[in-house]
Amino acid sequence: MVVILGILAVLAIPQLSRAAAPDAGAVLARNLKVLRLASERYRQDHGVFPAQTGDGVHAAGNEAAFVAQLTTYTDAQGRASDTQDSMHCFGPYLRDGIPPSPIPPHEGSTGVYVLTGPAPLTFSPEAGAGWLYNCDTGRIAPNTDAADATGRSYASY
């Protein structure tokens, strides 16, 4: 009886630990959904995507403007404030900040490499950021050229 329980434990424990560990693709899909929803809500409130205009301190097309506009309160022009008042009545769209990328080579990075114009979202290792974002189109993708276990490019998520 003890031998049978031991064999079952040897077979079941690795399966349970794999099931408990989050799949990087699932975490990526969830984080992308959060980022895309926040960006779209910002666009609905302001008529432009985050970082398409400056935040009152940082210029348009800037990572700091993107982060400020999604993580603080904003006025109708997208100027950011840490406190809510009658002017800064929009947001924050991301209360917990930019989610980290779960995908190598920038796994754990909350950095956002902001592009403008018709620039495609292609892997940019020199950027060092976990995310690629085009403030003119609102597109966001992980900064990677890796693929999941099925061969699907993470950039296509």
Helix axes 63-71, 24-46, angle to 10 degrees: 80
119, 134 Cβ separation under 8 angstroms: yes
92-109 tens-digit pLDDT: 999 999 999 999 999 999
Please give the Cα distance from 97 to 107 (Å, whole number): 16
- Partners of residue 74 on adjacent β-strands: 80, 90
Looking at residue 8, what is its pLDDT? 45
Domain range annotation of the chain:
24-156
Per-residue pLDDT tens over the stretch 24-75: 999 999 999 999 999 999 999 999 999 999 999 999 999 999 999 999 999 9
Residue 123 has pLDDT above 70, yes or no: yes
Per-residue confidence band for 3, with pLDDT thresholds at 50, 70 and 90:
low
For residue 94, give the nearest of 29, 157, 155, 42 by alpha carbon: 42
**pLDDT score, position 146:** 95
pLDDT over 70 (residue 12): no
